[in-house]
Structure 1
């Protein structure tokens, strides 16, 4: 059923725990699902794939009334190992199989050449924990002949309008579908948020806000970094940073900081921040290690990305060394300001 609200969900794709990484490099990526009106767009991005192998993008439906893995087709891989793909459907006709986007639980990238889905990367919405055995769900393929057809119920509701816009078979060409979705995207108007008190927006925000649960939020720490949220991560010993019981929390919070334990343990904590734009959309993860503004406290003299120093509140002597991390591309970035 069509709706006027914008629906967005961001899925972090992680390497399968039983996988041996191609080229010895860790696989990473994301999937994004957006719905507005009667249109739904699914976007995939991944890196460190092998160009000589063939991969498919899939949706994971792990609901009580639908347990399927939907193969939506191939994803192109560049010479550098990056893969990108997107698909556009009607909200009630995902992959031409006449089910709604609300049935989607997760997404993944699989290696071709098997009757069963051989996952390279996968992830679930909002840190959802799937039931055991979900990988053995039936694998079904996209119905390419039916992907641009509107569901029968929708056609009944909009009979007069569709006669003007559609041909006799009730189908629209892919270019028009793409243009209409882009028009919806441009028409979205989002209000700005309070720079000192806000929640990170969208499905991405739900995921990362969930990661931060259990940590103390520190407000007003870095005044020069606007639209950011900060959390204090206590560390008593190395065991605190090696606890992988919560895989998502370990992957996002602790694993990237393991190499900096000698710097962290001196102060018994580090900080993690979410740097957002003025609308509350997440741009970067930021990791902060306590220390003075000198090379002795700067982690590895900045060679690993900790190149920005910021004072905490009004303390001119003590502050933090910061590393900005683009979670979409899995790369360390250096802020221009």
Structure 2
């Protein structure tokens, strides 16, 4: 992929194993993929996950020798909403020695200390072999290896005799704990500042990529005040739907306030992305006043530029349940 080409796509995750949903609701989610040169970024947005479980996002190569790459843990709040973001090298994904194209499945793994489930999955390569069978074999092998390691550690522990610590040692431990606590607090503040600086740097780079390398357009007959739009071609859909919009909205001071995504679609429930669960809750027609089920328009999602969270600054426009 040429260095200056930026590409974005979405992967819808499909429900797989049952057993770790939030309040009996069906789990759902999607992944946003961003590529530029050899760099990749994956952002996860998930719904209705039981927060009592731990979750990880993983890549699976199921053909030939099974390879599993763990992107890392997904954070899930007390309402079942989960997410995470990771960067990687397209030519060597997370040090695996494999290219992105060599992986066939991306999945969410759930575990509670005893059992493993796959509540969400997407099969990226439809020609791949039975991924679930391959993944089960991988889990069985891993469990066997961990069991052997635990046995070896237990034997070593029995060989070591521990003497009770004298009173002076306990006083020293308490002092070290206090110092460690102070260091951790200072480190935590530095990490928060670093994350904020990294986010601002990424945001500037992202905006520059859009403005410098993509086509600015005016998709609406009557534009929303203060909005500027750029078109991103995807190569995944047919005709006039083979793209999406990226928009920027600035505040009174000229600072970036919202990043807006526009997915082409009709004003129907079937065309609303993820039934509005991921923030696409506003529909705007291309031609002002044309709001029929076959009139072209865009479903819009707003992102708060400062927090990175979904925002709803415009009143939602739910589609009619019954179409004429």
TM-score (normalizing by structure 2): 0.49
Which structure shows the bigger proportion of residues in helix conformation?
2
Larger Rg: 2
* Greater RCO (CA < 8 Å, at least 6 residues apart): 1
